[in-house]
Structure 1
Amino acid sequence: MSLGSPGNPAQLNAEARWDAFDPVAYVRKNYRTVLPVDAEIISIVRAHFSDHFRGFPGLRVRGIDVGAGANLYPTFAMLPWCDEITLLDRSTPNLHYLKQQFDRHDHGWDAFWRELCLDDAYATMHGGPWQRFGDVARVEQGDIFALVDRPEQWQLGTMFFVAESLSTSYERFRKGVECFLRSLTPGAPFAAAFMEHSEGYWVGETPFPACDVSESDIRDSIKGYAERLRIYRVGEPGEVRPGYTSMILACGFRRAGNSRMALPAGRSDL
């Protein structure tokens, strides 16, 4: 049964069992090896970022990975250009996993770094990923919707499989995308990935909600806040798990304007 089926009460972000999220099981199931879809996403994102920053040699920026969870390759994709990267996540187990990576990292992520190193911006980075990760990454507990109070704070951003994977509410999906994009400065490059028509997902023995969104829903949620937006369909249906039709990758730049954010009246932890 879809966790977001029409007629079912919406399951909101604050109601999901985030502290029961098992990052070790999640990594084992999803990132034990570099799947073809991972390689495709990495190739697009590394070109998007490196092509942009090639025009600004020596520029150093602040980055953010929203809903970092137990996935390091979005952060790795930002490493060559960042003096600071915020790894934002709500789940206590995910935060613990991320903090562990500073001292005893999972070597499985090295294969993802090698995919990035097909571009010289990564291959020539002094010290490789782990030294730079230790120097610039900052793990922070926080909710995506709290970014409403932090507009235009970061000059580079990623958000992978977050906005559609935190509740069954379409309104919350759109607000999550908005909060992410408005947290970026005008002109900031970004990459965001989504599961199209996700029916929800399991981590270990625990189910988590998802919002059923289409490619057009994803495009519509982004286009008002982005310019030079490109949308890619990547991977095959069910390549990672059952219950979705495609992965959607959106790459673009934060549009100037639309600086003020306001959540609807009522609860702020939806």
Structure 2
Amino acid sequence: MRIVDLASRPDLLDRALNLGDVGGEFIYRGFSGKMITPERFLRHWSRYFLIALDDDGVPIARALSVPLTFPAEDRPELPEHGWDEAIQWAAQDLMDGRAPDTLCAVEVVVAPHLRGTGLSSPMLKALKARAVETGLKRLIAPVRPIGKEDEPDVGMAEYAVRRGEDGLFADRWLRTHERLGARMIKVCPFAVTISGSVEDWRRWTGVKLADGDNVIPGGIAPVTANVERDCGVYVEANVWMEHPF
């Protein structure tokens, strides 16, 4: 396996994106998801878009991250709004010309036929190495526990602290981070917030919303809907983790 970045191989962009999504298409329908477009990664963060290639040069995984400033006087703690606010911080720093000192992992996606084979671990290691290479001081991640899809109604504060018999986190994605030395900082309860009409959610997920909580494919929390008001809101919690250098 070889890992390259989008800066050196922009021709791989479409094939890397075709590996799939984190959770589902709906994740990218929020305001922050719409900010991390392929065009913006090409223009601003191409060195932080990593692509793993197999022996034949075919993309088999991608890892996206954004550089930002943290901590700072106006950012003393990791945000409660997790993924959403980290992306906003990165965009604000670009607009303000503020030099970043931290790399924030946005997503790691592995080709469907290779999921569960341990490929996500070298992708995280590659993000950490890229942070070091570009003079950044830390790698942080608003981690989306993958097993939470099976328990969307369980609170993240309860789910995230579960441990296996070996003492490591029970969730396999949290466990992957922990095995690489990452420590849990805190739960970010409003990591991803997405709103849309009943028809929007049907197009994004194939689910026709009913009043109350609705389970959706790829969701780790329910969509709360009011059909009369034609509105469905999804609020997903994540877990902030920091990888030591």
Bigger RCO of structures 1 and 2 (CA < 8 A, at least 6 apart): 1
Which TM bucket (shorter chain)? 0.3 to 0.5
Q: Report the structure, 1 or 2, having the larger strand content.
A: 2
TM-score, normalized by length of structure 2?
0.35
